[in-house]
Amino acid sequence: MLWKKLFTPVENLEAHEVRSFMASHKEGDYTLLDVRQPGEYEEAHLPGAKLIPVPQLSDRLDEIDTGKPVVVYCAVGGRSRAAAQLLAGKGYEEVYNLKGGIKAWEGKISAVPVDLGALALTGQETVSDVLILIYAMESGLERFYQFAAGQVADPGVKDLLEKLAGIEAKHKVRLHGLFSEMNPDLEAEDRFEKAATSAVMEGGFDMETFLEQNLQVMESASGVLDLAMMLEVHGLDLYLRYAREVESKQGKETLYQLAEEEKAHLRALGELLEKQV
């Protein structure tokens, strides 16, 4: 399994490039996919766009033709980029993300979320190596929620972010247990933590840098929620992809359970974002 392929980022298109793409393709020959919340869609959307909110995306893939190009967009490009990566991992060969989202399309100035970036993997990683990477991602999510909770004033948003930080901490415990089961000779938690830290540095993503780069986006509750959903989609994508590679029944069940919990997180975040519209 060449893990590197799973982290190849999809192509980002500027608004004028999406306009050119649409002008050069007949209606019905491609899918224009809006992954925002229903309230956002009702307020404004691109003509002909199909709405599948990102919390529902993994369960509604049968509504998207795998044989047609897909152009994905959201509000500012964060959720859609993660959604496009998820689609690419599911076998959609031609997927594009509208950089800057509908705000860029409308010519509105907006802070564009900076992603964690692609992982610089060698292609030789084992399933245990990937579990370490997932653990590192969960550590990053926990850190994000802790930081974000201190940035927002809305008590409802703050409460959810604090709860999600606690859930990510529990995810780490479960992942460590699964890793220990697969590697009984590597049971020391500090050794596992060091491996996860090393994976973050070598893989090319760092949560502290991510937070620093997205401070402007996080000035509003909606921006925080948008970033949170982008990160949760990445987490969901990782669990769904790697569950297929784990041979043990318990390992598969654990990863699929974690994937379902990420979906629940996305639904909760989406409901709160809907209230911000």
Output the six-digit token pair for 273.
């974002």
Integer CA distances (angstroms), 143 to 138, 216, 261, in order: 9, 18, 18
Instruction: Using the CB atoms, write b or e for 62-80: b if 16+ within 10 Å.
Output: eebeeeebbbbbbbbbbbb
Q: How far apart are CA 138 and CA 197, in angstroms?
A: 12
Q: How far apart are CA 144 and CA 141, in angstroms?
A: 5
Q: How far apart are CA 57 and CA 181, in angstroms?
A: 32
Place of tokens 């949170």: 228
Q: Which residues are designated catalytic?
A: 74
| Residue pair 222/273 in contact by the 8 Å Cβ criterion | yes
